[in-house]
Structure 1
Amino acid sequence: MKERYLKILLVNGAAYPQIGGVENSLRYIGKELLKQGHEVKIWCFQTKPEFPLITIFENIEIIRMPIPSIKWPHKRNWMKVNATKNGIIPFLNDFKPDVIWSRSVFLGLGIALSGYECPLFQIYCTNALMEARGSFLNTKGLPLKRRIMMFLLFFLDYFSFHAIEKKLLKYSHPIFFSKNMSNQMRSLYKERIINEKIVYPGVNTDFFNNKTGNELKVEIFKKYSIDDSRKKVLYVGRLALNKNIFLLIDSIKLLKTKVELILVGEGKERERIKAYAKKKDVYENVRFVGLQDKLLPGFYSSADVTVLPTTIESFGQVYLESLACGTPVIGFKGDGKKIITATNEIIKDGLTGRLVEKVSASDLAKAMESIFSLEENDYKAMSENAIRDVSERFTWKKFVKEMLFLSKSELSNYGL
């Protein structure tokens, strides 16, 4: 039977050169689809005025739509839906995609309401409750006035996000990156979740691997004055309240081992994190290296362990990138209640890293010490386990294969 090649539209709130887990996933999904002969385009918002409205990156056309800046989250959420609904139709009629894979509920619903008919697969990377809790309820250390404001904003964001998400379930085929995400969505919507599929994401091992990482280490150590005599703890992600970086600093303070904490990323809380590190008397051993792209594998390979201290995380792409470079990882073990993470589905405790059951600085410190204290051969075995496990279970080729199967099956239902 002759292979059918599809025209596939990938949509999200942002795309390259903006860097993030979702943005990177679009990049690697697109590259894998091109390898297999499919036609791919990306539609997103123009998140910065300097980003061109139309650009071609790695042979994929990226189309950006300008949107206004709106302060209040409930108005901003619905604005994104309506802007997409009204603005994407000319493009859809011109490109005529066979199928749409969406990473944003706002764009997903906007497309559904635009009236364009084709299978719409919504890949849920978070949900209304997780997003609102993570953005507005993790307020440790904030002044009382700001904490009250964040609490009020939580409700505005949650109820608008919830309404959009609930409505989108009527029009789309839900795809979840993890069992954790599936369980969280079922707890919110129950009977509305029909025929959902769990398709694990991948990691680009052509880029994230130990060989590439080790080649970049010399440049990184020289450029950022990394202390080679100390163990290195790596964090990769936004410098935001919901990322629990203050707790990570507390745990660094408790370590008996001399370490250097490397923070890769930017965010609004950078200055507060600096001040907190000074308050805890660990600032001299913290490196703020900003956003990284080409050097990122080198940071993973430079580290002895990568720690993601979040308690609300739909998946955790950072884990896969670190494991692919052979660096063990540590994260809080999801319980579906207070700790809403997919770490149990990624980390094999004692084999590829450590799962921490209690959210505390002391427990996080103990997990780090347990890896620092490994004998050289035991650490090497953990590193090899990490590389082998991630290459077997998490690849973009496998993800794309499963998504194409689902897409073609649904197209046959359309009689196409």
Structure 2
Amino acid sequence: MRIQLQHTYYYPQIGGIESRLYYTSKTLLEMGHEPTILCSRHLSTLPEKETYNGIKIIRYPMYRFPKLSVLSQLYFEKMLQGFIRRNSKGTEAVWTNHPYCAYASCKALPKIANIYFQPTIWTNFRAITGKELKGIRRMRFRIRNLFDYYLEKKSMEMCDKVITFSEERMREIVDFNKLIKGKIEVVRTGVDLERFKVRGRDKDLLKELNIPENANIILTVCRLALEKNVGMLINAFTKINCSNCHLVVVGDGPERAHLEQLVKRLNMEKKVRFTGFRRDTERFYSISDVFVLPSENECFGLVYLEAMASGVPCIGLKSDYPNVIVGTEELIKDGYNGYCVNPYSTDDLTEKIEKIVLNEELRCRMGQEARQICEREYRWKRHVEALIKITECIRKRK
């Protein structure tokens, strides 16, 4: 089947959606299908067309209509529809990952199967990230978000199927658009079991971080933004009754400076390491005793799967819809491969970290269980096979 996978960004951009597109396309190729990535030419140095690791990439220009934000969005959407129509000859299905692409595809290619992957409500998520804007920037943001709100709702109504990755996200989508549940389906994503696997501690990395080889290491890997709630982890870390514990924070983002100041105020500079963005995250899982992601709003949490596949117990927050929207309890089986903690209790987080860090037998058992869950439930082939089955059902109806 010739399938076009769409998003605003792809290689060389790195992120959760970009990673999922790569592994999905790679698996499609292995299964004999013909995937093509359609994304933006967000850097002027990028070619309009290229092949990366056997995957064809087509990039659309960053269409812009100066100054007037809403007019810019309307212009962009119209031009994108034309680009998709011209560059989709022979395409049998579209798997799209962004409301702009979804709307444009439904308009440009109404006779083929259009599946919209909805890891989160885009406008709700952007509202969280735009909270700190002020003045004219805040006003422009609100106007733009109203347009995006309309586009997102219409995209979900027009597409043939909405795919999300957790039951909690499905609940949010149904509430947002009053869609019938039959139009939405949960399909679990996958993880690279070869890259992320149980391995010996990376002594060179420990040396680079200036951390003793016998240290107990708490790890988080995420974009340093408000919704990731890393401040809660730092505050919990200060209360841990373990003199040999170190916290490693992998990632970058707008909250980094604030978090570094928090560490300084708490006089924990010698115990906390900020590494910035790293591509070699598998090395960090190899040195960690427990992985913690205290996000209050998480699309899925692919990093949980990476940690689990690496044999590392995980800790995350329990969901408290609609204030805390996470799929943690669908990934972490409380007490088996990690813990789900009270989202409003730093003490509960501290207690659960201590339980794992100070009990080697428990840590090993949880790590083994985590790896086994990934091997059973989170293979990329299983994910893609489910998507192909859904796509074929839609094509029969078209």
TM-score of the superposition, structure 1-length normalised? 0.87
Task: Label 1:218 to 1:129 Cα distance change in 2 as closer, same or farther (>3 A).
Answer: same
Seen in structure 2, the aligned counterparts of structure 1 residues 156 and 234 have a Cα distance that, compared at 3 Å, is farther
* 2:302 aligned with 1:306: no
Query: Which residue in the other structure is 1:89 paired with?
Result: 85
Is 2:154 the counterpart of 1:167? yes
Which residue identity does 1:401 align to in structure 2?
E
Instruction: Work out the CA distance in 1 between the residues paired with 2:308 and 2:394.
Output: 34
Pick aligned residue for 1:268 from 243, 246, 254: 254
Q: Is the 8 A contact 1:233 1:305 kept in 2?
A: yes
Q: Which residue of 2 aligns with 1:25?
A: 20
Whole-Å separation in 2 of the counterparts to 1:72 and 1:269:
29
- 1: distance between equivalents of 2:72 and 2:265? 36
Larger deviation: 262-271 or 395-404? 262-271
Root mean square deviation, CA, Å: 2.4
Give distance in 2, aligned partners of 1:126 and 1:203: 19
Match of 1:292 in 2: 278
Q: 1:186 to 1:73 in 2, by over 3 A?
A: farther
3-state SS in 2 of match to 1:260: strand
Instruction: Tell me whether 102-111 or 379-388 shows the greater mean CA deviation.
Output: 102-111
- Kindly report which structure 2 residues correspond to 1:48-67, keeping only aligned pairs within 5 A, or say none: 48-67=43-62
Match for residue 372 of structure 2 among 388, 393, 413: 388
SS in 2 for 1:159: helix
- Equivalent-residue separation in structure 1 for 2:290 and 2:128 (angstroms): 24
- Relative to structure 1, the CA distance from residue 153 to residue 251 in structure 2 (aligned partners, 3 Å threshold; closer, same or farther) is farther
Q: For 2:76 and 2:218, how far apart are their aligned partners in 1?
A: 38
- 1:205 equivalent to 2:193? Answer yes
Structure 2: segments with no counterpart, 5+ residues: none
- Residue by residue over 1:219-241, the C-alpha shift from the partner in whole angstroms, topping out at 9 and shown as x without a partner, is 32233333334321111111222
Q: How far does residue 154 in structure 1 lie from its aligned partner after superposition?
A: 6.7
SS of match in other structure, 2:210: coil
**Code of the aligned partner of 1:33:** L
Q: Among 203, 206, 223, which residue is 1:221 paired with? A: 206
2:60 partner amino acid: M
Structure 1 residues not aligned, in runs of 5+? 1-5, 140-145
Evaluate the alpha carbon distance shift between residue 71 and residue 30 of structure 1 in structure 2; reply closer, same or farther with a 3 A threshold. farther
Give the 3 Å change call, closer, same or farther, for CA 313–157 of structure 1 in structure 2: farther
- The amino acid that maps onto 2:258 is R
Name the amino acid aligned to 2:232: L
Count of matched residue positions in the alignment of Structure 1 and Structure 2: 395
Please tell me the residue identity of whatever aligns with 1:159. Answer: L
Cα deviation 1:255-304 (Å, max 9, x = unaligned): 222322212222233223222221221122222222222x2111112111
The residue type paired with residue 4 of structure 2 is L
2:336 to 345, 351, 354: 351
Length-normalised TM-score, structure 2: 0.91
Percent of counterpart pairs with the same letter? 27
Matched-pair contact (CA < 8 Å) for 2:36–2:55 = yes
Amino acid in the other structure paired with 2:234: I
**Match status 1:279 vs 2:265:** yes
8 Å contact kept, 1:134–1:312:
no
* 8 A contact 1:7–1:38 mirrored in 2: yes
Q: Distance in 2 between matches of 1:153 and 1:234?
A: 37
1:327-380: per-residue Cα shift (whole Å, max 9, x none)? 011111112221110001110011111101232332222221121122x22221
Matched, 1:118 2:112: yes
Secondary structure at 2:247 match in 1 = strand
**Distance in 2 (alpha carbons) for counterparts of 1:193 and 1:153:** 34
Distance in 2 (alpha carbons) for counterparts of 1:311 and 1:75: 33
Q: CA deviation at 1:383?
A: 0.7
Check 1:115–1:34 CA distance in 2 against 1; reply closer, same or farther (3 A cut). Answer: closer
Alpha-carbon distance in 2 for matches of 1:250, 1:153: 35
